[in-house]
Amino acid sequence: MKKILLIQGHPDDESFNFALYEAYKKGAIASGADIKEIIVRDLVFNPNLQYGYRKRTELEPDLLDSIEKIKWAEHLVLFYPVWWGSIPAIFKGFIDRVFLPGIVFQKRENSVWWDKLLTGRTGHIISTLDQPAWYYWLNYGRPSYHAMKRMTLNFVGIKPVRTTTIGPIRLSKESFRANWLKKIEKLGFEQK
């Protein structure tokens, strides 16, 4: 039984992205996985890393709880839409406030190198967009994929990280959405 943390980064709980989240959760629960959740839109916190890394901003209770969930997890599944080649502002604020030195990585003294404090964990990014996934890759080079997978999750030791990019969502047919919901539920059941 795998300990899976689901992190929902979409600010709209009526979005298809939330439906994908629920489908994955349904499959994972059916498989017997131990599930915890973070729904970023429901957290009470200031998304602004006011002082950067120069000075620590006091962590709100919801962020402290989120950090404990991240440390607990063996597998993290992140859900978010790709907006302007990136992630929603509230989700970026969550990452900025939680993925901190001393919590998920540690800078080495007098060195440009760091220690990855989340090694031994795996991840999966499930993102939606309003263009075909192949076009996002071919024309733009998947910037959100690189930022989240390589420069965030891999940076702190989460490896391997699978990705599933679903699009276009806008103007998609019900059959397209139903097919993706089945696929994502199966991924949850397989604990991938």
User: What's the pLDDT tens digit per position in 95-118?
Assistant: 999 999 999 999 999 999 999 999
Going by their DSSP bridges, the two strands 161-166 and 122-128 should be labelled as parallel
Mean pLDDT of the chain: 95
d(CA 179, CA 164): 14
Average the pLDDT over 60-76 and give the result.
98
pLDDT at res. 96: 96
**Worst-scoring range by mean pLDDT, 62-71, 128-137, 160-169, 178-187?**
128-137
Confidence of residue 36 (pLDDT cuts 50, 70, 90): very high
Residue, of 98 and 57, whose pLDDT is higher:
98
Cβ–Cβ under 8 Å, residues 40 and 9: yes
- Each residue's pLDDT tens digit, 120-161: 999 999 999 998 888 888 888 788 888 999 999 999 999 999
Q: What six digits make up the tokens of 89?
A: 């502002």
pLDDT at res. 137: 86
- Each residue's pLDDT tens digit, 161-173: 999 999 999 989 9
Task: Give Cβ neighbours of residue 3 (< 8 Å, ≥ 6 apart).
Answer: 33, 34, 36, 72, 73, 74, 75
Q: What six digits make up the tokens of 145?
A: 């994929």
d(CA 162, CA 1): 19
Cβ–Cβ under 8 Å, residues 28 and 35: yes
Confidence of residue 74 (pLDDT cuts 50, 70, 90): very high
d(CA 32, CA 62): 26
pLDDT at res. 131: 87
